[in-house]
Amino acid sequence: MSNSVRVRYAPSPTGDPHIGNIRTAMFNWLFARRNGGRFIVRVEDTDQSRITAGSVENILDGLEWLGIDWDEGPRVGGPYGPYFQSERLARYNAAAERLIASGDAYRCYCSPERVAELRKEQARNKQRQGYDGHCRFLSDAERQTQESSGASWVLRFAMPQSGSTSVDDAIRGHVEWRNDLTDDFVLVKSDGFPTYHMAVVIDDHDMDISHVLRAEEWLPSTPRHVQLYRALALPMPQFGHLPMILGSDRAKLSKRHGATSLMEYRDAGYTPEALINFMALLGWSLDGATEVMPADTIRQHFTLERVGKPAAIFDLDKLQWMNGVYIRQLAPDGLADRLLPFLEREYPPELLPIDPDYLLRLVPLVQERLKTLADGPDMLSYFFADSPQYDAQMLVQRNMDADGTLAAIQRAAAVLSDVDPQQFTAEYLEELLRAAGSELGLNGRQFFGALRVAMSGRNATPPLFDMMQAMGPERVLHRLSLAEARLAG
């Protein structure tokens, strides 16, 4: 094994990438980048029955969207390929034969029904569940009988039956397990494909992986992997098990705590910058106080010493807050570019295509209020609608009547129709309309409230005059004429 840092992210293509799974990928990536190492993506596709179409593409697209680049793996190649386990079966078969020859593995002919019944019986008797080693001690004659009958088999590892297995985990420190509490686990399934335990050890060795950084849920599998390394006389990587991610109620992260798939967060309008920042804090800390920091800062300072042992709490409210912070940091043209796909996704054909110059004028009006990019279509919809939909009664403000409101709308239209388009600015509009309101004997709340509804069909909007400037004289006068018609009709 080389002295350079080589880490890997090895997802199973069984669905969209889960946020916890992506957090693991990101920590490996950060560790590699901080240490000048290599980050490898390897697809663990040996469980053929659970593979779902499009999963590999979604996983890789998700990494690219987050800005997590990889040095070896699908789409980029590399010297340690192939990077799909289903294409590496010869390597696993060779290792299996070595283990059989050394007596460290044996063929188990127990039917799935026997194994299932065994587990039920163990549960009834409140015993530790696991394989009982029935086929481990078959005589040569008994094995020959099974082979002759054509019985199907799985390959099991012969765990030591006494002593203990230990590792010095990079995050959790010294961890030790009694060997007699780990059963003889399956290495090769009846379909000829290796299990995770077999494939991961062979692949990590073949790809010269220096550090195995993975979720805490894999900690109980570590003694199995350590014993496999020993049986095959392979050098072991450094293990490090990342803290669990729990919901705000300290239960296992699930849908009720918010979306769990990375793609759901992308489609819900979260920015990759916010997600990188947020996920980094799910187990790692810069100084215990700093929360908002760019990916470059995280990469520069990421160390395993700063990864904690306690479970990390997933707080959706915090993610929304952080996402808003990153949205407000975007330049207007950058925010417009990011909002455009959401507008195109949500708006009906008659509102498309979106005028990019018009959108750029609108972005500053809503930037402070956006929590996610997906909020954009609703916040901006009335800017694009040809005729805002509202009840005429909404135009009539407190202590006003329909006739007075109609007169106010007509006065505003008359004043604004004479404005030179070059002077159609928020400051000039406010000056003109305040004067017009005073002439009508209306206060700002009354006059401007009616104009706000006429422009948008809503009572709460960005600043009225900024909004009118962004709309431009043609749209403003058109909406005033619509409001006049509604009041007159």
Of 188, 219, 242, the residue that ends a domain is 242
Residues 180-216: b if buried by 16+ CB within 10 A, e if exposed: eebbbbbbbbeeebbbbbbbbbbbbbebbbbbbbbbb
Asked if 281 and 141 sit in the same domain, the reply is: no
CB atoms within 10 A of CB 118: 17
Same structural domain for residues 130 and 249? no
In a domain, 115, yes or no: yes
Please say whether the dihedral angle defined by the alpha carbons of residues 175, 225, 261 and 334, taken in this order, is positive or negative: positive
Cis check: omega of the bond before 353, within 30 degrees of 0: yes
Domain that holds residue 214: 88-242
CB 11 within 8 A of CB 44: yes
C-alpha span between 319 and 371 (Å, rounded): 10
In CATH, what number is assigned to the domain containing residue 335?
Answer: 1.10.8
Q: How many domains would you assign to the chain?
A: 4
Q: How far is the C-alpha of 476 from the C-alpha of 468, rounded, in Å?
A: 6
Peptide bond into 82 cis (omega under 30): yes
For the stretch 253-295, pLDDT in tens is 877 776 678 999 999 999 999 999 999 999 999 998 999 999 9
In a domain, 440, yes or no: yes
Position 322 in a domain: no
- Residue 1 domain-assigned (yes or no): no
- Do 161 and 22 fall into the same domain? no
Same domain, 123 and 269: no
Tokens of 380: 């901006």
Q: What is the pLDDT of residue 251?
A: 83
| Mean pLDDT value across residues 176-200 | 95
What tokens appear for 307 in the block?
Answer: 């990864």
Say whether both 258 and 307 belong to one domain: yes
| Tokens encoding 343 | 């507008």
> Would you say residue 44 has pLDDT above 70?
yes
Residue 329 CB burial class (10 angstroms; 0-12, 13-18, ≥19): middle
pLDDT the model gives residue 259: 65
Q: What is the DSSP string of 232-281?
A: TT-PPPEEEEEPPEE-TTSSBP-GGGS--BHHHHHHTT--HHHHHHHHHT
Amino acid at 128: R
| Final residue belonging to a domain, choices 289, 316, 343 | 316
Shared domain check, 231 and 95: yes
Residue 158 near residue 103 (C-beta atoms within 8 A): yes
Instruction: Report the C-alpha gap between 263 and 282 in whole angstroms.
Output: 19
Q: Please give the pLDDT value at position 48.
A: 81
Among residues 30, 28, 38, which one has the least CA distance to residue 3?
Answer: 38
HSE-up of residue 313 (Cα within 13 Å, Cβ side): 6
Residue in the block written with tokens 């017009």: 436
363-379: per-residue pLDDT in tens?
A: 999 999 999 999 999 99
As a whole-number percent, the residues of the chain with pLDDT over 90 amount to: 91
C-alpha to C-alpha distance for 70 and 170, rounded to whole angstroms: 23
> Is residue 210 situated within a structural domain?
yes
The Cα–Cα gap between 371 and 383 comes to 19
Q: What is the pLDDT of residues 462-485, one digit of tens each?
A: 999 999 999 999 999 999 999 999
Cβ contacts of 441 within 8 Å, gap of 6 or more: none
Q: Could you give the residue numbers annotated as active site? A: 255
Question: Is position 203 within any domain?
Answer: yes
Q: Evaluate whether residue 212 is within a structural domain.
A: yes
CA distance 336 to 332: 6
Report the pLDDT value the prediction gives residue 16, as an integer from 0 to 100: 87
- Identify whether residues 74 and 117 lie together within a single domain: no
pLDDT of residue 37: 98
The whole-chain average pLDDT of the chain stands at 95
Work out the average pLDDT over 183-212.
96
pLDDT digits over 70-102, tens only? Answer: 999 999 999 999 999 999 999 999 999 999 999
Helix (H, G, I), strand (E, B) or coil at 7: strand
Q: Is there a single domain that holds both residue 191 and residue 129?
A: yes
pLDDT at 215: 94
Q: Which residue has the tokens 């009988």?
A: 145
Contact between residue 462 and residue 456 where contact means Cβ atoms under 8 Å apart: no
- Could you report the per-residue pLDDT of 313-343, keeping only the tens digit for each? 999 999 999 999 999 999 999 999 999 999 9
Residues 219/241, Cβ–Cβ less than 8 Å: yes
Is 135 a domain residue? yes
Q: What is the mean pLDDT of residues 19-37?
A: 96
Regarding whether 188 and 177 lie in a shared domain, the answer is: yes
- For residues 39 and 81, state if they share a domain: yes
Structure tokens at 26: 């990101």
Helix (H) or strand (E) holding 154: strand 154-157
Q: Between these two residues, 489 and 226, which has the higher pLDDT value?
A: 226
Q: What angle do CA 23, 28, 33 make, to 5 degrees?
A: 120
Residues 234 and 251 in one domain: no
Give how far the C-alpha of residue 471 lies from the chain's centroid of Cα atoms, to the nearest Å: 36
pTM: 0.91
Instruction: Provide the pLDDT for residue 364.
Output: 97
Give CA–CA dist 289/335, Å, rounded.
Answer: 28
- Cα 255 to Cα 19, 246, 247, 261: the distances in Å are 11, 12, 10, 9
Give the domain CATH number at 456.
Answer: 1.10.10.350
pLDDT at 2: 53
CA distances from 186 to 47, 128, 144, 158 (A): 13, 17, 21, 10
Structure tokens at 311: 């479970």
> Which of helix, strand or coil describes residue 98?
helix
Residue 46 has pLDDT above 90, yes or no: no
Tokens representing residue 463 in the block? 């600043």
CATH of the domain at 38: 3.40.50.620
For 8, the 3-state DSSP assignment is strand
Give backbone dihedrals phi and psi of 181, rounded to 5 degrees, phi first.
-100, 0
The SS3 assignment for 99 reads helix
Q: Are residues 346 and 436 in the same domain?
A: no
pLDDT in tens, 98-142: 999 999 999 999 999 999 999 999 999 998 889 999 999 999 999
What is the reported pLDDT for 252?
Answer: 82
Domain closes at, from 316, 339, 363: 316
